[in-house]
Amino acid sequence: MKLTNRTPKYVPGEVLLRLKNSGNTLSDDILSEYGSNIVERFELSEASLNSNESHDIVRVKLPQGVDVNDALAQMKQDERIAFAEPNYLYRLPEFQATEPTALPNDLTSKLWGLHNEGQTGGKPGADINAPEAWQITQGDNSPNGPLIAVIDTGIDYTHPDLAANMWTNPGEIPGDGIDNDGNGVVDDVHGYNAFAQTGDPMDGHSHGTHCAGTIGAVGDNGIGVVGVSPKAKLMAVKIFSDEGESTSASILRGLLYANKMGADITSNSWGGGPYNEAVKEAFAASEALHVVAAGNDKVDNDAIDYYPANYDVDNMLVVAATDHRDERAAFSQWGASKVDVAAPGKDIYSTVPNGKYASYSGTSMATPHVSGVAALVASQYPDATAQQIKDRIIYGSDKVHDLTDISVSDGRVNAAASLENDTIAPGSPKQVQIEDLNYRGAALSWLTPGDDGDQGAPVSTVEIRMSEKPITEENFREAKPFLTGSENALNERHGYAIQETPSLKERQVYFSVQAVDNAGNRSPLVSTEQVTLPKAELLFNEDFTSSRTSFDIDGDFRSFKDPIKGQVFTSAPPRGSRAKSTSTLTSPRINLSKHENPFLQFEMSADLAIANTAELEVTTDGRRWSQLERIENSDGWKTHGLDLSAYEGKTVQLRFSVNSRIGRAKNGISLSSLQVFGQADKE
Ligand code: CA
Ligand code: CA
């Protein structure tokens, strides 16, 4: 579920802030200077506290007629205030889905995400291995079982396929109009309506009920569907109105309620809008595992921040969506470092209100698959921490070639592998060597160890970490991870090249190498000495943000305002015009004679009409051109990197060309931030 908020809107006359100093009297004094008063207090747990900041985030009403931005500008100058931000308004886009249908009679075959034999035209085995996982556990809906908070539009807790798996607040007497358990909410029997601030989280929208069914629709009850965790304890936390509206304050209330009531897992199929410090802190203040959607705008979250997915919170697990062929769903956002795993999210069949069922698509649907796996792991291993559950999900996932660089793991979730009862760490990678150091990264190699104390099969993952500090057993999680799949034999040398965005500064770094098995057991760490990554030189730079460019333009190429990237160059002709048969964009001469390892990097989105072709070419003499790359359609913006070492010592020109055979162009190709890097010669 996406919060549409490109131009942030906010509640007029309200601000969320935290004071640096604790003590309520002082707080009120400061706020009275602003003519303001506290209308709501959000209590975060000790875990999030910085010693010189007060415990609570507060919602403040400004005096009549005071503009929020004026107040924020003053508050940001005020040294007594840790942060101040608007109470943002969020709105969901129109929701697209197939019509709810009556009870179907061919249920299991629709649930390809749980068990895929190719019955929907996809690839057999492109699923989360639910039947295999259910041999180990089907979840635990007893009072001791894990509590799963569905942070969404609420849940139809009367749905016959959900009712038996709904959490019931043991301290609350239904319908007596009294807050029996003293948690601040009257008659909160199955959860909390954080939007309306009532005890009734009934879902009048459908999104939350759909997510709840994927996590934990009741299994083996002869109706409807079965969830990933057929026995589950689902808590409905409604942060959206039935019209899909929310505010920062509503999200805070929901997250803090889930934390207070002891949620072990929160499932967050929503995102968008600006960075929100208060919401980030509410996630960090909880020890639950927060499973979060990567988003549906088919962009790279490593390049464009998307929240809450991109909040730097250790106990968060971010999920991209796959289809029934084990490929990234075309809409799904991705991120080689900002997304953790992928899971089924296209054409997902689940519960909707009033006893019905429907198919929806989105990372909103992938997220509850992973929340369900987290529930299975937490049921089987009740003492597992959020980090251990997260590790089991990441390292137990199946590496899929088509999902390379979609996420940290390159994997699609595998519930059965994540549940394996294995406590024996693999052996360490042996004879670790640094093969190459360059301005884009490094290449390392090692002899592949065996799992289970080096006695078993080759280990599933070898993880390299890179840091500017020495890496130890204590701090390795702070260092950036690179997961490498190991498909080769025991004790064979296996290599991996880390490729980073070129850095214009020299970097002193350390590496560590560690084997990790599917249950998240880790071998002892092998750490390297400090090494130097040389700096990159920028040999050529064209950002395409101005209508004037250093490139020669021919055909349809023009400056254009892209909704995601802003000002770019595109080959798409203006609306209503036929495409010219050939359009080219040709660079000036770029001198590669004085640098080593030249490397071209650019951002491109390609959406060509049928029968049209596009390519990137290079010339050294301005006459004979040869192809560097054939351009394929890309489903959104991607960063492209091309090694130009074959042209070291020469002067080159680059040319993007698009050939339109039938006058149609669709969106053609669009280009942004093109750079050529090289490394100064080592005299
Ligand atoms: Ca209560
Ligand atoms: Ca059922």
Q: What is the DSSP string of 563-619?
A: TTTEEEEE-PPPTTPPPPSEEEEE---EE-TTEEEEEEEEEEEEEPPTT-EEEEEEE
Contact predicate 340/394, CB 8 Å: yes
> Over 70: is that where the pLDDT of 348 sits?
yes
State the distance from the centre of ligand 2 to the C-alpha of 343, rounded, in angstroms: 21
| Helix runs in 236-362, H state only | 248-260, 277-284
443 neighbors 495 (Cβ within 8 angstroms): yes
Question: What is the structure's pLDDT at 55?
Answer: 64
pLDDT, position 3:
57
Catalytic one of 364, 587, 657, 672: 364
Specify the pLDDT at position 100.
47
C-alpha of residue 126 to centroid of ligand 2, in Å: 22
Ligand nearest to the CA of 261: 1
| Interacting residues of 370 by C-beta distance below 8 A, sequence separation 6+ | 291, 317, 319, 341, 343, 393, 413
Catalytic annotation present for 190:
no
**Domains plus CATH for the chain?**
10-91 (3.30.70.80), 96-115+125-179+190-418 (3.40.50.200), 430-534 (2.60.40.10), 539-680 (2.60.120.200)
Quick one: 640 exposed, middle or buried, by C-beta within 10 A (0-12, 13-18, 19+)?
middle
Ligand nearest to the CA of 164: 2
The pLDDT value recorded for residue 93 is 56
Distance 175 CA to ligand 1 centre (A): 11
Residue 439 has pLDDT above 50, yes or no: yes
pLDDT digits (tens, 9 = 90+) for 482-538: 998 766 788 999 999 998 888 899 999 999 999 999 999 999 999 999 999 999 999
The closest ligand to the CA of 188 turns out to be 1
**Ligand 2 centroid – CA 220 distance (Å):** 6
Instruction: Give mean pLDDT, residues 32-36.
Output: 83
> Are 192 and 345 spatial neighbours (Cβ–Cβ below 8 Å)?
no
Residue 406 Cα to ligand 2 midpoint, Å, equals 32
Torsion angles phi and psi, residue 353, rounded to 5: -55, 160
Check residue 25 and give its pLDDT.
54
Give the distance (Å) from ligand 1 centre to CA of residue 177.
10
Please tell me the number of the ligand nearest to residue 104's CA: 2
What SS3 string covers 479-541? CEEEEEECCCCCCCEEEEEEECCCCCCCEEEEEEEEEECCCCCECCCEECCCEEECCCEEEEE
How far is the centre of ligand 2, averaged over its atoms, from the C-alpha of 137 (Å)? 17
Residue 173's pLDDT is 96
Instruction: Quote the pLDDT of residue 101.
Output: 44
Measured CA to CA, the distance from residue 63 to residue 74 in angstroms comes to 14
**Per annotation, catalytic residue among 159, 207, 210, 324:** 207
Residue 128 has pLDDT above 80, yes or no: yes
Is 152 annotated as catalytic? Answer: yes
CA of 160 to the centre of ligand 2 (A): 8
635 is a catalytic site residue = no
Residue 98 has pLDDT above 60, yes or no: no
Q: How many CB atoms lie within 10 A of CB 575?
A: 5
Q: What percent of the chain has pLDDT over 90?
A: 73
**Residue 123 pLDDT exceeds 50:** yes
pLDDT in tens, 305-336: 999 999 999 999 999 999 999 999 999 999 99
Better-scored residue on pLDDT, 610 or 550: 550
Cα dihedral 357, 359, 363, 369, rounded to 10, equals 50
Q: Which ligand is nearest to the CA of 107?
A: 2
Q: How far is the CA of 453 from the centre of ligand 2 (A)?
A: 42
- What is the predicted pLDDT for the residue at 7? 59
pLDDT of 414 > 90? The answer is yes
Instruction: Give me the count of residues in the chain.
Output: 683
Q: Which bin fits 175, alpha (ψ -120 to 50), beta or left (φ > 0)?
A: left
Determine the pLDDT at residue 218.
94
Q: Ligand 2 mean position to 166 CA, how many Å?
A: 13
The pLDDT confidence band at residue 26, using thresholds 50, 70 and 90, is: low
The Cβ-side half-sphere exposure at 283, using a 13 Å CA radius, reads: 25
pLDDT band at 97 (very low <50, low <70, confident <90, very high): low
d(CA 271, CA 92): 10
Of 127, 140, 152, 161, catalytic: 152
Identify the pLDDT of residue 1.
Answer: 60
Question: Would you state the pLDDT for residue 446?
Answer: 95
Ligand 1 centroid to residue 258 C-alpha, Å: 13
- Is the pLDDT reported for residue 170 higher than 70? yes
Is the pLDDT at 24 greater than 70, yes or no? no
Q: Which ligand is nearest to the CA of 184?
A: 1
- What digits encode the pLDDT tens for the residues 36-86? 888 898 887 554 445 555 567 889 999 888 889 889 998 888 888 889 999
Give the pLDDT mean for 269-285.
Answer: 94
| Ligand 1 midpoint to CA 48 (Å) | 25
In this predicted model, what pLDDT tens digit does every residue of 560-579 receive, in sequence order?
A: 999 888 999 999 998 888 89
pTM of the model: 0.85
Query: Which range (120-124, 506-510, 568-572, 677-681) has the least confidence?
Result: 677-681
- Nearest bound ligand to the CA of residue 174: 1
Work out the mean pLDDT of the chain and round it to a whole number. Answer: 90
